[in-house]
């Protein structure tokens, strides 16, 4: 994962001069000179001069065939943020277009997407908005991120994790959605390297082990097809390429779909590039003549392009040794779109969007439009994920019209996609003549028929909101309920709310509701309780997201802890503020310590302990309302039961030990082991492995555990991993030693 290549301006010039496009060379030269001067003296984490970064970004954009202004903006993309140069300077020197591209990239960079809270969905929407204004901003940002990922090994570990997470979850999917396959695959594979190094290295190892066999295999197929194609007069000699599936593509199949390496049929593929569409079908015929096609493995993305514009014929056939492989057939034009996506349609001269680009960005607008009706960040995020995926299915209406939907789409999504009214009036759905449940997952090629009601008042069911997968269907359902009779929404909302209160055992008088829910009401811009009920009723406010907070609020304001009401005598008799009574609290100690639910203390909080009757010590935060009330009441007997407690330094109790794991070697073994460790919160080093006879392997892993219980538990779980013969503490010398950090 190292990139030693350094891009120089000469290399950029060389690319520009040999390009078949026309560039404003003097503008690019002066952009470079300006950037070089502005970044003078600055360095990358790698120690190299900073300017190599904007150069590398510009190089990627040249490869995509982007225009002069985009190249200039790439060279200048970090000057406003990292140097004294200003937006006005860029505007006067390079014009409005370059300056606003730089501004757009700077703003995108400042939107943090690595956060778990509600801001995340909001921020992704902000990115989509910026993209909708000028998609070149996102294309520059993707190339910027690509170079940062290529050089990520120089950054501190937490930065690596953050960037890799962000890239995998936001930037790579956006690249995919824009059809920029090449960049998407590289971003995913680089992210994987940091997010799951074990999984990554296992796939690499598998690929390396089979390298020779694979190359022979591909060459023999290429030759055989080429030989046969020679007999046919093509407009231009077809090009035949061998292709190996990306590391992340393999990873997904193996670790997420649980296939073996050998079961991934498209791990090897051969690609045939021709001049015209009819030639594509001709080649497919010839391939099927040479090799037997596998049933249900022919995909015609030429007649039915993917939503990101991808077109190609795919067919999986059986090789001579019975090894299946995939053949992809497409024109050179389609190939360009497949690799570069939306960038392939960038007509640099006009500097305007082409129809193809409009199509390629329609989804952005659809998402932005649909999200306007929801303010539940989790829902926005999950629908975003589905809407961002370029994988989709094609379902037919009985009349034969194709409807494109994201994978996992249901008949509800199908109905709403055809027409809003068909969605609202749907009673049930038939797939291939059979009635299916509404949460049925539709598959490509199926014919789906929606049976609607004649009743003019018929509307959707509230439960559909949780079944539908697309933001389109959800927002239409929500809109219906919003428009629907307000009274019924209020009633439904109130019933749902009270049911939830009963479920969570929250008992508050109805006259307190307004005060109790005041925060949530304000957040969802409801000025009255009725508004709040109505929003719950039509689904604009999701109860399940709010309820956990209610419980805390309730405990804080309405419940006097059981401890306070107890009458027995204290077990320990402490004297307040006395060092001798100080208890050092070990987070994992076996003594009966529990953390009070009213204030949920976390390590690092200032804490006090309350001696309960027979339930050990209950730990509260010093700012807990219960503790505060006790202080205010100032009753000596009560006060005596509160102890001063402190957190221990947990690093001083961690122990290191070696584990010997004997197992049959298999793909996914390391992944499973590291998953067990991760789940148990145990850190481990990269294992030493020794291959033994009979396909067995001995792994020696150094781990850090808190105590014997944790160790015993993790050993037990390791033994349950498939293939593992035994898992024991190593009997070697470097056993259980106390390690003290610092
Ligand atoms: Mn940058």
pLDDT tens digits, residue range 622-654?
Answer: 777 777 777 777 777 677 677 777 665 444 456
pLDDT digits (tens, 9 = 90+) for 339-357: 888 887 765 545 555 666 6
Quick one: residue 601, left, alpha or beta (phi over 0 = left, psi -120 to 50 = alpha)? beta
Of residues 1 and 113, the one with the higher pLDDT is 113
Q: Are residues 416 and 555 in the same domain?
A: no
How large is the average pLDDT for residues 69-74? 95
How many Å lie between the centroid of ligand 1 and the Cα of residue 11?
A: 19
How many Å lie between the centroid of ligand 1 and the Cα of residue 77?
A: 6
Q: Give the whole-angstrom CA distance, residue 269 versus residue 236.
A: 22
How many Å lie between the centroid of ligand 1 and the Cα of residue 566?
A: 62
Q: Give the whole-angstrom CA distance, residue 251 versus residue 253.
A: 5
Q: State residue 576's pLDDT score.
A: 35
How large is the average pLDDT for residues 85-99? 93
How large is the average pLDDT for residues 171-178? 86
- For residues 735 and 658, is the Cβ–Cβ distance under 8 A? yes
DSSP-derived secondary structure for 228-286: HHTTS--SSPPEEEEEE--HHHHHIIIIIS---GGG-GGGEEEEEEESSHHHHHHHHHH
- For residues 111 and 127, is the Cβ–Cβ distance under 8 A? yes
Q: Which pLDDT band holds residue 604 (cuts at 50, 70, 90)?
A: low
Q: Is position 365 within any domain?
A: no
What end-to-end distance do the CA atoms of the chain give, in Å?
Answer: 31
pLDDT digits (tens, 9 = 90+) for 393-431: 778 888 877 787 888 899 999 999 888 889 999 999 998
Q: Which long-range contacts (CB under 8 A, 24 or more apart) does 152-156 make?
A: 152/1, 152/190, 152/194, 153/1, 153/2, 154/44, 154/45, 154/46, 154/47, 155/45
Q: Which pLDDT band holds residue 389 (cuts at 50, 70, 90)?
A: low
Of residues 613 and 656, the one with the higher pLDDT is 656
How many Å lie between the centroid of ligand 1 and the Cα of residue 124?
A: 19
How large is the average pLDDT for residues 442-453? 86
Of residues 555 and 171, the one with the higher pLDDT is 171
How many Å lie between the centroid of ligand 1 and the Cα of residue 435?
A: 54
Q: Is position 705 within any domain?
A: yes
Q: Which pLDDT band holds residue 377 (cuts at 50, 70, 90)?
A: low
Q: State residue 602's pLDDT score.
A: 66
Composition of the chain by helix, strand, coil, percent to 5 = 50, 15, 30
Number of separate domains in the chain: 6
pLDDT digits (tens, 9 = 90+) for 482-491: 777 777 888 8
Q: Give the whole-angstrom CA distance, residue 449 versus residue 470.
A: 19
Task: Look up the domain containing 700 and give its range.
Answer: 655-741
Tokens standing for residue 296:
């249900």
pLDDT digits (tens, 9 = 90+) for 528-548: 888 889 888 877 788 887 888
Measured in whole angstroms, the distance separating CA 35 from the mean position of its chain's CA atoms is 34
Q: State residue 117's pLDDT score.
A: 54
- For residues 263 and 324, is the Cβ–Cβ distance under 8 A? no
Q: State residue 319's pLDDT score.
A: 83
- Which residue, among 303, 339, 333, 335, has the nearest Cα to 444 in the 3D structure? 303
Element (H, E) at 565: helix 562-565
- For residues 416 and 470, is the Cβ–Cβ distance under 8 A? yes
How large is the average pLDDT for residues 418-445? 88
Phi first, then psi: give them for residue 242, nearest 5 degrees. Answer: -95, 150
Q: Give the whole-angstrom CA distance, residue 655 versus residue 252.
A: 35
Q: Are residues 146 and 58 in the same domain?
A: yes
- For residues 429 and 435, is the Cβ–Cβ distance under 8 A? yes
Say which residue the tokens 């997904």 belong to.
Answer: 252
Tokens standing for residue 273:
């590039």
How many Å lie between the centroid of ligand 1 and the Cα of residue 106?
A: 9
Q: Are residues 269 and 305 in the same domain?
A: yes
Q: Give the whole-angstrom CA distance, residue 449 versus residue 380.
A: 29
Of residues 207 and 385, the one with the higher pLDDT is 207
- For residues 199 and 670, is the Cβ–Cβ distance under 8 A? yes
Q: How many CB atoms lie within 10 A of CB 114?
A: 15
Q: State residue 214's pLDDT score.
A: 83
* Half-sphere exposure at residue 673, Cβ-oriented, CA atoms within 13 angstroms: 32
How many Å lie between the centroid of ligand 1 and the Cα of residue 172?
A: 17
Of residues 423 and 712, the one with the higher pLDDT is 423
Cβ burial 607-629 (10 Å sphere, 16+ → b, else e): bbbbbbeeeebbbbbeebebbee
How large is the average pLDDT for residues 565-590? 36
Q: Give the whole-angstrom CA distance, residue 473 versus residue 400.
A: 22
Tokens standing for residue 295:
């049933």
How many Å lie between the centroid of ligand 1 and the Cα of residue 165?
A: 18
How many Å lie between the centroid of ligand 1 and the Cα of residue 83?
A: 12
- Which residue, among 125, 72, 32, has the nearest Cα to 351 in the 3D structure? 72
Whether 656 shows a pLDDT value over 90: the answer reads: no
Q: How many CB atoms lie within 10 A of CB 645?
A: 20
Whether 272 shows a pLDDT value over 90: the answer reads: yes
Using CB atoms within 10 Å of the CB of residue 516, give its burial: 0 to 12 exposed, 13 to 18 middle, 19+ buried: buried
Q: Are residues 518 and 554 in the same domain?
A: yes
How many Å lie between the centroid of ligand 1 and the Cα of residue 144?
A: 5
Of residues 352 and 501, the one with the higher pLDDT is 501
How many Å lie between the centroid of ligand 1 and the Cα of residue 110?
A: 11
- For residues 454 and 353, is the Cβ–Cβ distance under 8 A? no
Phi first, then psi: give them for residue 459, nearest 5 degrees. Answer: -135, 180
- For residues 583 and 609, is the Cβ–Cβ distance under 8 A? yes
How many Å lie between the centroid of ligand 1 and the Cα of residue 30?
A: 19
- Which residue, among 244, 245, 250, 182, has the nearest Cα to 219 in the 3D structure? 244
Q: Give the whole-angstrom CA distance, residue 500 versus residue 544.
A: 8
How large is the average pLDDT for residues 269-293? 93
Q: Which pLDDT band holds residue 516 (cuts at 50, 70, 90)?
A: confident
- Which residue, among 132, 650, 54, 575, has the nearest Cα to 367 in the 3D structure? 132
Protein residues near ligand 1, an ion, with CB under 5 A: 78, 144
Beta pairing, strands 617-621 & 593-595: parallel
- Of 540, 567, 594, the position where a domain reaches its end is 567
Whether 243 shows a pLDDT value over 90: the answer reads: no
How many Å lie between the centroid of ligand 1 and the Cα of residue 421?
A: 47
Task: Output DSSP code: residue 83.
Answer: S
Q: Is position 684 within any domain?
A: yes
Q: State residue 563's pLDDT score.
A: 40
Q: State residue 560's pLDDT score.
A: 54
Q: Give the whole-angstrom CA distance, residue 108 versus residue 147.
A: 16
Q: Is position 357 within any domain?
A: no
- Of 467, 482, 497, the position where a domain reaches its end is 482
- For residues 579 and 557, is the Cβ–Cβ distance under 8 A? no
Q: State residue 278's pLDDT score.
A: 93
Whether 570 shows a pLDDT value over 60: the answer reads: no
Q: Are residues 26 and 164 in the same domain?
A: yes
How many Å lie between the centroid of ligand 1 and the Cα of residue 609?
A: 50
Whether 614 shows a pLDDT value over 60: the answer reads: no
Q: Are residues 211 and 191 in the same domain?
A: no
Whether 500 shows a pLDDT value over 60: the answer reads: yes
Instruction: Provide the annotated active-site residues.
Output: 81-82
Q: Is position 349 within any domain?
A: no
Q: Are residues 335 and 435 in the same domain?
A: no
How many Å lie between the centroid of ligand 1 and the Cα of residue 173?
A: 20
Q: Is position 255 within any domain?
A: yes
Q: Are residues 161 and 18 in the same domain?
A: yes
- Of 176, 195, 214, the position where a domain reaches its end is 195
Phi first, then psi: give them for residue 367, nearest 5 degrees. Answer: -65, -45
Question: What is the Cα gyration radius of the chain?
Answer: 31
* Half-sphere exposure at residue 425, Cβ-oriented, CA atoms within 13 angstroms: 13
Domain with 243 in it: what CATH number? 3.30.460.10
Q: Is position 44 within any domain?
A: yes
**Comparing 40-54, 65-79, 120-134, 715-729, which segment has the lowest mean pLDDT?**
120-134
Mean pLDDT of the chain: 80
pTM, to two decimals: 0.59
- Which residue, among 82, 79, 127, has the nearest Cα to 99 in the 3D structure? 79
Whether 28 shows a pLDDT value over 70: the answer reads: yes
Q: Which pLDDT band holds residue 174 (cuts at 50, 70, 90)?
A: confident
Q: Is 51 helix (H, G, I), strand (E, B) or coil?
A: coil
Q: Is position 574 within any domain?
A: no
- Percent of the chain past pLDDT 90, that is, above it, reads 25
Q: Are residues 422 and 463 in the same domain?
A: yes
Q: Are residues 158 and 50 in the same domain?
A: yes
Phi first, then psi: give them for residue 713, nearest 5 degrees. Answer: -65, -40
The strand pairing partners of 393, in sequence order, are 405
Q: Are residues 234 and 307 in the same domain?
A: yes
Domain with 662 in it: what CATH number? 3.30.70.260
- Which residue, among 115, 197, 187, has the nearest Cα to 148 in the 3D structure? 187
Cβ burial 54-67 (10 Å sphere, 16+ → b, else e): bbbbbbbbbbbbbb
- Which residue, among 161, 158, 157, has the nearest Cα to 169 in the 3D structure? 161
Q: Are residues 555 and 592 in the same domain?
A: no
Tokens standing for residue 2:
């190292």
- Percent of the chain past pLDDT 70, that is, above it, reads 83
The strand pairing partners of 705, in sequence order, are 655
Q: Is 714 helix (H, G, I), strand (E, B) or coil?
A: helix
How many Å lie between the centroid of ligand 1 and the Cα of residue 78?
A: 6
Q: State residue 737's pLDDT score.
A: 35
Whether 20 shows a pLDDT value over 70: the answer reads: yes
Q: State residue 594's pLDDT score.
A: 67
Q: State residue 586's pLDDT score.
A: 42
Domain with 409 in it: what CATH number? 3.10.20.30
How many Å lie between the centroid of ligand 1 and the Cα of residue 104?
A: 13
Say which residue the tokens 């419980």 belong to.
Answer: 551
- For residues 329 and 362, is the Cβ–Cβ distance under 8 A? no
């Amino acid at each position: 994962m190292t990139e030693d290549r350094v891009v120089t301006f000469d290399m950029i010039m060389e690319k520009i001069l040999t390009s078949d496009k026309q560039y404003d060379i003097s503008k690019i030269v002066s952009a470079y000179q300006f950037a070089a001067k502005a970044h003078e003296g600055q360095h990358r984490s790698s120690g190299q001069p900073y300017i190599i970064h904007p150069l590398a970004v510009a190089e990627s954009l040249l490869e995509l065939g982007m225009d002069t202004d985009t190249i200039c903006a790439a060279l200048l993309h970090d000057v406003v943020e990292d140097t004294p140069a200003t937006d006005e300077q860029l505007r006067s020197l390079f014009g409005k277009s370059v300056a606003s591209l730089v501004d757009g990239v700077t703003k995108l960079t400042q939107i943090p997407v690595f956060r778990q809270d509600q801001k995340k969905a909001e921020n992704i929407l902000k990115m989509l908005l910026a993209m909708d204004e000028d998609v070149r901003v996102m294309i520059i940002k993707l190339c910027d991120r690509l170079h940062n990922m290529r050089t990520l090994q120089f950054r501190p570990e937490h930065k690596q994790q953050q960037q890799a997470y962000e890239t995998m979850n936001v930037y790579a999917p956006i690249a995919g959605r824009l059809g920029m396959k090449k960049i998407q695959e590289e971003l995913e594979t680089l992210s994987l390297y940091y997010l799951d190094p074990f999984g990554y290295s296992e796939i690499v190892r598998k690929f390396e082990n089979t390298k020779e066999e694979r190359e022979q295999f591909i060459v023999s197929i290429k030759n055989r097809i080429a030989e046969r194609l020679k007999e046919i007069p093509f407009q231009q000699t077809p090009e035949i390429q061998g292709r190996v599936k990306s590391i992340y593509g393999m990873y997904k199949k193996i670790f997420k779909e649980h296939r073996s390496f050998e079961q991934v049929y498209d791990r090897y593929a051969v690609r045939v590039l021709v001049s015209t569409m009819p030639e594509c079908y001709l080649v497919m015929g010839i391939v099927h003549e040479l090799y037997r096609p596998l049933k249900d493995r022919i995909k015609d993305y030429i007649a039915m392009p993917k939503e990101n514009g991808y077109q190609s014929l795919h067919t999986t056939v059986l090789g001579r040794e019975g090894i299946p492989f995939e053949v992809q057939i497409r024109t050179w034009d389609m190939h360009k779109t497949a690799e570069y996506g939306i960038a392939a349609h960038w007509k640099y001269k006009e500097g305007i969007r082409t129809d193809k680009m409009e199509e390629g960005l329609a989804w952005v607008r659809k998402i932005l439009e649909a999200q306007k009706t929801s303010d539940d960040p989790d829902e926005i995020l999950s629908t975003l994920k589905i809407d961002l995926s370029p994988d989709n299915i094609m379902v037919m209406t009985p009349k034969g019209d194709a409807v494109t939907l994201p994978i996992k789409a249901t008949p509800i999504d199908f109905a709403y996609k055809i027409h809003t009214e068909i969605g609202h009036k749907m009673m049930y759905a038939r797939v291939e003549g059979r009635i299916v449940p509404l949460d049925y997952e539709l598959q490509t090629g199926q014919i789906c028929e929606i049976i609607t009601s004649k009743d003019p008042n018929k509307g959707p069911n509230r439960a559909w909101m949780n079944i539908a997968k697309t933001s389109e269907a959800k927002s239409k359902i929500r809109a219906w309920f919003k428009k629907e009779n307000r009274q019924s929404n209020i009633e439904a909302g109130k019933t749902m709310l009270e049911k939830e209160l009963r479920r969570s055992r929250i008992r508050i008088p109805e006259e307190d509701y307004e005060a109790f829910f005041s925060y949530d009401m304000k957040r969802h811009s409801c000025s009255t309780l009725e508004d709040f009920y109505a929003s719950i009723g039509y689904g604009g406010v999701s109860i399940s997201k709010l309820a956990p907070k209610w419980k805390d609020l309730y405990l804080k304001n309405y419940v006097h802890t059981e401890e306070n009401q107890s009458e027995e005598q204290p077990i320990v008799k402490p004297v307040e503020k006395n060092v001798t009574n100080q208890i050092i609290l070990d987070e994992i100690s076996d003594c009966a310590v529990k953390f009070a639910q009213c204030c949920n203390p976390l390590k690092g909080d200032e804490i006090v302990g309350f001696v309960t009757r027979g339930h050990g010590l209950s730990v509260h935060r010093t700012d807990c309302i219960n503790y505060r009330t006790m202080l205010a009441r100032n009753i000596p007997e009560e006060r005596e039961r509160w102890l001063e407690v402190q957190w221990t330094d947990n690093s001083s109790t961690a122990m290191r030990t070696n584990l010997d794991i004997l197992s049959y070697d298999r793909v996914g073994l390391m992944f499973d082991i590291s998953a067990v460790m991760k789940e148990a919160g145990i850190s481990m080093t990269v294992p030493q492995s020794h291959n033994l006879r009979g396909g067995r392997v001995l792994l020696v892993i150094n781990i850090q555990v808190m105590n014997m219980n944790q160790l015993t538990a993790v050993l037990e779980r390791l033994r349950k991993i498939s293939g593992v013969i035994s898992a024991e503490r190593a009997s070697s010398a470097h056993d259980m030693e106390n390690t003290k950090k610092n």
